[in-house]
Structure 1
């Protein structure tokens, strides 16, 4: 049977203008591997906890203290928990609370010459880690865009010289996906 490839659109919730990615991922990937795909495609650094929610069930790394009720993401394959048109919610960083909407746009047959996962498209840079969630990111964008803003220079310094909120390179994301996922 040919390998199934899921075309996913990942959108960062609560952020304007939109930050999103479109990726192709093997359906046989566990949710743990999908976590790595989200991290590298979006541009996060995997510094914080995360979880998935699918049809009311939460998946992630099991909590040894039992405080969070999660199914083990290592035991759950993408193609077993969602199909074409299905939706997943991925939350990253329980302090900043970054929610990502993942939609299965299509289920395709793998092309023999293609290496997966791959990032097809996307828009805008990932927010910097620890910026304070969507509200903090809005403040950062406002300060960066307005040279008269009292925090303009401090925010540019904090975000770093390489940060440009408008720039996203799907080729670079694909390279990271193939190397680390």
Structure 2
């Protein structure tokens, strides 16, 4: 994943990899500082906003490549995240990318590490007194060695599409005096008014200005420039 990823998005990546549902609070910790979801009411001093801090910020400001990720303060899942290698991005690749996956994710709300150990023991022994109960609670068999790589890849692909840069919208053309239809109507009106006043001599100054005004109205010149042409046209007609 890119170093510029915000910590709240890193949280989503971990959730997608583990197969959890982002149903509990979380916190990243490093160098005595914490980042997570601050108390919206400000009643207590919680972690700093994870949405405003990137992984690169933590590496640079704290000076460490090891982060602690705590999820579900009841079950208290404590993960140690180590940045082993920083490399150049692969051109055209979508991130996050899966490098390797080993073992299954503990079920949600299983009771933390002690509860997970009890769960594995009960699921592994058909004669265990809690085997049937755990089997029903989980909803089927559980293989602690199955990493479900297909699920992880699907989740990562969904995040990559969600976070992909949106294509830039083309800049709107500058507004003109009006549409082509309106401009043509204005040209016809000017020609009609001029013909009502007089027949302009071929090549006269007024005829040239009238032609300039017609062209300007078609191509939508600046409003003030167009008004200047019209004013000169009217003045020329009056002089004749």
Structure 1 length normalisation: TM-score?
0.81
Counterpart position of 1:69: 46
For structure 2, the 5+ residue unaligned runs are 161-240
Q: Which moved more, 1:136-145 or 1:82-91?
A: 82-91
Distance 1:95 1:177, change over 3 A: same
TM-aligned CA deviation for residue 68 of structure 1: 4.2
1:34 paired with 2:10, answer yes
Counterpart position of 2:177: none
TM-aligned CA deviation for residue 49 of structure 1: 0.6
Q: Which has the larger share of strand?
A: 1
Counterpart position of 2:120: 141
TM-aligned CA deviation for residue 105 of structure 1: 0.7
Counterpart position of 2:78: 99
Distance 1:153 1:118, change over 3 A: same
Counterpart position of 1:53: 29
Distance 1:132 1:101, change over 3 A: same
Counterpart position of 2:100: 121
Matches of 1:35 and 1:158, distance apart in 2: 26
Matches of 2:141 and 2:117, distance apart in 1: 18
Residue correspondences, number: 157
Matches of 1:53 and 1:85, distance apart in 2: 11
Task: Pick 1 or 2: higher relative contact order, CA cutoff 8 A, min separation 6.
Answer: 1
Matches of 1:74 and 1:162, distance apart in 2: 37
- The structure having more radius of gyration, on CA atoms, is 2
